[in-house]
Structure 1
């Protein structure tokens, strides 16, 4: 099975973002994924798109969850993909 890459849109100093990173850590080995963090403040288009929604976790082009980790949605996205 191929390791999947998830994209986590975040910003520095965001406590919800830090909580999501912490919540994802134990699942990454079990579900075989890596997280690619993207700071939205480095890209005006991303900042406009995600400013009030971060953290935003995506699998491919699909949003899995915003603000808080939805483990059920993540598991579903990884098995559907």
Structure 2
């Protein structure tokens, strides 16, 4: 299984919503969700601080930033797993 990153931070209610949207889709694409806490890196805070939650594949440059719905997330996951 390959991973998909969810850039987030603890206590982020939007990140919780994103997790709820993405989690049911993961098995369809043989993916597992790896959450990355941006608070642990100045670089990640600078890059994603005002944009979280953000989905990103470690193998592609594409990102899906919030807001997104289930259809948008499914399309993103399908595109990155080709």
TM-score relative to the length of structure 2: 0.83
Where does the alignment leave 5 or more consecutive residues of structure 1 unmatched?
none
Judge which range, 33-42 or 61-70, deviates more.
Answer: 61-70
Q: Write 1 or 2 for the structure with the bigger share of strand.
A: 1
Q: How does 1:2-81 map to 2 (within 5 A)?
A: 3-60=1-58, 61-69=60-68, 70=72, 71-79=74-82
Q: Report Cα offsets for 1:15-55 as digits up to 9, x if no partner.
A: 11111111111111111100110110111111011111111
Aligned pair count reads: 77
3-state SS of paired residue (2:52):
coil
Q: How much does 1:78 deviate?
A: 1.4
Where does the alignment leave 5 or more consecutive residues of structure 2 unmatched? none
In structure 2, what is the Cα distance between the partners aligned to 1:11 and 1:65? 16
